[in-house]
Copies of this chain bind each other. A is one copy, B any other.
């Protein structure tokens, strides 16, 4: 089930109980989407899409944010003309305790490991 959009500019989000592990893992499995999630986790607040400066087109950026929203990983809302983004940490932590933190930790470890070995970072 998805919360009904109350107006034309509102964005559809799955309710907490409609969030599925498969969709969350798929959302996190892309390096750019994982980069967004890591930055949102570090910010701990609402962040506009433009902040992230992803090295892709605007339409691809929009696609990645939609995957994150429709999977239940982030919440998006308009603020004027900007889309603001926030991690749905309390929903994810309630449904899948420890999962988000273990993925964030795994990403940190991988970055450190690749930096130490001289390989390029996967999320750059």
Residues in chain A within 8 A of chain B (CB atoms): 17, 20-23, 25-26, 28-31, 34, 95-99, 101-103, 105-107, 109-110, 113, 117, 122
Contact = CB atoms under 8 A, between A and B. Distances in A.
B25 A103 contact: yes
A18 to B, nearest CB: 10
Which 4 pairs, one residue from A and one from B, show the smallest C-beta to C-beta distance?
Answer: A96-B106, A25-B29, A26-B29, A98-B102
Contacts of A102: 96-99, 101-102
B22 A25 contact: no
Contacts of A25: 25-26, 28-29, 34, 103
A10 B3 CA distance: 50
A29 B34 contact: no
A98 B95 contact: no
Contacts of A22: 29-31, 34, 122
24 contacts: A21-B103, A21-B106, A21-B110, A21-B122, A22-B30, A22-B31, A22-B122, A25-B28, A25-B29, A26-B26, A26-B29, A95-B106, A95-B109, A96-B102, A96-B106, A96-B110, A97-B102, A97-B106, A98-B101, A98-B102, A99-B102, A99-B105, A99-B106, A101-B102
